């Protein structure tokens, strides 16, 4: 019995988007994108029993997203979502109604970042903003973690 699982469905979507992009914009990087979808599929298939499989998938996905985003940022974003979906499947993450707000928030944040990068003329400003936001998030999380540990661990923090 053969059935199309979500991971292969997403890889199929990835290939379709890349091929469609290549048809619309016949440039050399389009062919490279198609090749990298193949590489991603091979990595996905070959690393099934490997430890740290996610790392290999992210590495192969990174190249694919970078090449796609070089043509159109939004195409790169969609490919990145699909790569994330495949990785979520690997992690056996099943989405429920409770996870929907988190999913929407993640999609929104990544879309805003893409928009910011798309609009910026140079890398420096978005890079600085990203680093600043990341540092702020980590600082807030650290303070929250400290207060939480203080509550449960007392003086041993």
Partner 1 sequence: MRLIRCTRGLALLALLLFSWAFVFDDPSVLLVGALLLCGLVGAYIYFDLKFRGVVASVRVERSLERTQVRKGATLQAVTNVTVDVPRGMKITIRENLPPNIAVQDGITSFTAGPAATPVVQKMIYRITPVVHGECHFPGIILSVRDLFFETDITLSARQFCGPTLIIQPTGLFESGSRRFVTETREIEKMAVLSGFGIRSLREYYAGDDLRKIDWKQTAKYNKIFVREYTGMTYLPPLVIIDLPWRGDAFSENDFNRMVATVAGLAEHSIKTYQYVSVLLISGPNIISFSAEEKDLERCMTLLRRWMHPVERTTHLYRMPDRSDLRTKIRVIDRILTDDQVSPNARFLTILRRNYQASLQEQQVLTFTAQVIRTISQITVDEIYIFTLGCGDTSHIRQVVRQARSMKIHVHARLPNGKDPGWWGSRTGNLGADTLEAFA
**Helix residue ranges, H only, 47-123:** 53-71, 73-90, 100-119
Q: Does 49 bind partner 1 (CB under 8 A)?
A: no
Closest CB to partner 1 among 3 and 154? 154
What is the footprint of partner 1 within residues 51-80 (CB under 8 A)? 52, 54-55, 58-59, 62, 65-67, 69-70, 73, 76-77, 80
Map residue 80 onto helix, strand or coil: helix
For the chain, the farthest-separated pair of C-alpha atoms sits apart, in whole angstroms, at 64
Report which of 4, 8, 2 is spatially closest to residue 48, judged by C-alpha positions: 8
In angstroms, rounded to a whole number, what is the distance separating the alpha carbons of residues 25 and 99? 36
* Positions that interact with partner 1 (CB under 8 A): 52, 54-55, 58-59, 62, 65-67, 69-70, 73, 76-77, 80, 84, 91-93, 102, 106, 109-110, 113-114, 117-118, 120, 122-124, 126-127, 130-131, 134, 137-138, 141, 144-145, 148-149, 151-156
């Amino acid at each position: 019995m053969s059935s199309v699982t979500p991971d292969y469905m997403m890889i199929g979507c990835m290939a379709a988007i890349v091929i469609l992009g290549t048809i619309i914009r016949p440039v050399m990087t389009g062919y490279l994108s198609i090749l990298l979808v193949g590489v991603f599929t091979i990595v996905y298939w070959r690393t099934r029993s490997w430890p740290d499989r996610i790392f290999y998938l992210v590495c192969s996905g990174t190249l694919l997203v970078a090449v796609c985003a070089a043509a159109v940022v939004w195409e790169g974003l969609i490919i990145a979502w699909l790569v994330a979906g495949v990785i979520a499947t690997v992690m056996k993450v099943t989405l429920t109604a409770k996870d929907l707000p988190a999913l929407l928030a993640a999609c929104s944040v990544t879309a805003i970042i893409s928009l910011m990068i798309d609009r910026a003329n140079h890398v420096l400003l978005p890079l600085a903003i990203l680093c600043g936001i990341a540092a702020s998030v980590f600082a807030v999380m650290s303070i929250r973690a400290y207060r939480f540990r203080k509550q449960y661990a007392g003086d041993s923090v």
